[in-house]
A and B are shown apart, each in its own frame.
Chain A
Amino acid sequence: MSRIIDRGLEEQAALLAKMGELTFETLETSIYGYLEGRNVKTQVREMSDVLVAMADKVEDQTFELIARFQPVASDLRTIKSYMKIGNDFARYGRYALDITSIAEQLGGLTQCEAWIQQYLSLMSQKVLFMVKVSVDSLRRHDVTLAKTITAPEREVDRMYLEFLNKLISDASASSKCVASGLLVTRYFERIADHAVYVCESIIYVVTGEKANLG
């Protein structure tokens, strides 16, 4: 027999699933625009604004569910975590917008040295993979999948530091490319952190365990 809170929880889950799809699409659009030298800022801004509005809606739903149904146990963990994940997804959108702003201000990556292009392309693939893991973990409430996020997160952290060292040792790189690469790899690293937060939230929802996957 379903409970009266179930409908609200299902609505919230459906909204987050849509956010998950949009958040991946937003990051893909932004990152490929940056890598390929296309100006996609207007498009990404619209998508990011939608994500922020959806996160606000998830928050409103959370408050309504608490006020009306006084959830406890797995229900409480779920709505608390859904609100947090909504904010993580909105942050993905804001980082996507930040990347397009870098492209607009400093020019596309196509003007930079080949090794920088290759490095950022490789790092972006790892970050997009992590975002996909986080979205799929949420959609399926898959703890096993969520726990796989640690290895790529460490790889992204390692790549970020390695990129900094390479930039320091490569005096030939243009200042625009250095600035662009520094900022964008920093955004990649932050996006990866939010993917970890989403996966930690899924583990908390399902098991009650406060995992540290970073």
Chain B
Amino acid sequence: MTETQQKPIQPDPQAKMQSINLDVWFGQKQVLKSINLSVKPNTVTAIIGPSGCGKSTFIRTLNRMHELVPNAKLNGQVLLDGEDIYAKNVDPVMIRRRVGMVFQKPNPFPTMSIYDNVAAGLKLTGAKKGEDLDDIVKKSLIQASLWEEVKDDLKKPGTSISGGQQQRLCIARAVALRPEVILMDEPCSALDPIATAKIEKLVIELKQNYTVIIVTHNMQQASRVSDFTAFMYLGDLVEYGRTKDIFESPKSKLTEQYITGEFS
């Protein structure tokens, strides 16, 4: 059943992440309008919508990355396990450790080896006591379905592998920090169909251990990988519900028009 926005919004005890009446401006321009969305743990949520609808901005608010944009302003709340990540005492670096991000284009550190790319985040933020770096790198590469392909080439540059492998390397880098949530911003848009299929399979596997939120322009990708789908348009959350319901019987005419390609 599709979940529609209800006001006033209360914190959802079942949610891993939740935005409450979230508004975002870049300068004078409001790019997100009172977004209320509750993401359940160990699920994949797809954010879809036309270019400029605010979906990338939205996921960047979930780990405070939008703050890197000059003139960005935010109202409302983003809760992670019920705690507001914008509260005064919260360190954005810690939030980004708990809520990782994978970007559109694979962006391994060009001067680092495959091994160092995975370990980079841990070296920066510090591994926990008793953690073995080699072990974490190996486990992260296994979780990113890359270990078998690179285990004999860990000292080679991260940029020496294919684009699809580089993207999985970036996922391994994110996973190495043991985040609770992984944000993915069009992670397959620069990849061929074979590499895309591997990433999609990986996304579904990752939800066993993480909560995944993925922005995609590819309707079929959203329907293949996600449990829940949110449709955004002009900064509004138009519809949010189970992916099966959104792609079979959307409640909103606007959603119907977008996913069937009737948008003029």
Q: Do chains A and B stick together as partners? A: yes
On A, residues with C-beta under 8 Å from B are: 1, 3, 5, 70-77, 208-209
- Say whether, besides A70-B219, A70-B220, A76 and B247 are in contact (CB < 8 Å): yes
**B248 & A208 in contact (Cβ 8 Å cutoff):** yes
Q: B202-220 interface mask toward A, CB cutoff 8 Å, 1 = contact, 0 = none?
A: 0000000000000000011
- Say whether, besides A70-B220, A77-B249, A3 and B256 are in contact (CB < 8 Å): no
**B223 & A3 in contact (Cβ 8 Å cutoff):** no
Smallest CB gap from A72: residue in B: B247
CA distance A209 to B260 in the complex (A): 18
**A3 & B248 in contact (Cβ 8 Å cutoff):** no
**What residues of B have a CB within 8 angstroms of the CB of A75 in the complex?**
260
| 5 further contact pairs, Cβ within 8 A, besides A72-B223, A73-B248 | A3-B260, A3-B261, A73-B255, A74-B256, A76-B247
**What residues of A have a CB within 8 angstroms of the CB of B191 in the complex?**
none
**What residues of B have a CB within 8 angstroms of the CB of A77 in the complex?**
248-249
CA distance A94 to B250 in the complex (A): 36
Q: Contact check: which of A1, A3, A5, A72 meets B219 at CB < 8 Å?
A: A72
**What residues of A have a CB within 8 angstroms of the CB of B256 in the complex?**
73-74
CB distance from B247 to the nearest CB of A (A): 4
CA distance A70 to B218 in the complex (A): 11
Nearest 9 CB-CB pairings of A with B: A208-B249, A72-B247, A72-B259, A73-B256, A70-B220, A3-B261, A73-B260, A75-B260, A73-B250
**A72 & B249 in contact (Cβ 8 Å cutoff):** no
**What residues of A have a CB within 8 angstroms of the CB of B219 in the complex?**
70, 72
CA distance A5 to B259 in the complex (A): 13
- Say whether, besides A208-B248, A208-B249, A74 and B260 are in contact (CB < 8 Å): yes
Smallest CB gap from A1: residue in B: B264
**What residues of B have a CB within 8 angstroms of the CB of A209 in the complex?**
249
Can you spell out 25 A-B residue pairs with CB atoms less than 8 angstroms apart? A1-B264, A3-B260, A3-B262, A5-B261, A70-B220, A72-B219, A72-B223, A72-B247, A72-B248, A72-B259, A72-B260, A73-B247, A73-B248, A73-B255, A73-B256, A73-B259, A73-B260, A74-B256, A75-B260, A76-B247, A76-B248, A77-B249, A208-B248, A208-B249, A209-B249
**What residues of B have a CB within 8 angstroms of the CB of A76 in the complex?**
247-248
Most buried by B among A71, A72, A75, A209: A72
**What residues of A have a CB within 8 angstroms of the CB of B264 in the complex?**
1
Smallest CB gap from B258: residue in A: A73
CB distance from A7 to the nearest CB of B (A): 14
**What residues of A have a CB within 8 angstroms of the CB of B261 in the complex?**
3, 5
CB distance from B196 to the nearest CB of A (A): 14
CA distance A77 to B262 in the complex (A): 16
Smallest CB gap from B259: residue in A: A72
Smallest CB gap from A76: residue in B: B248
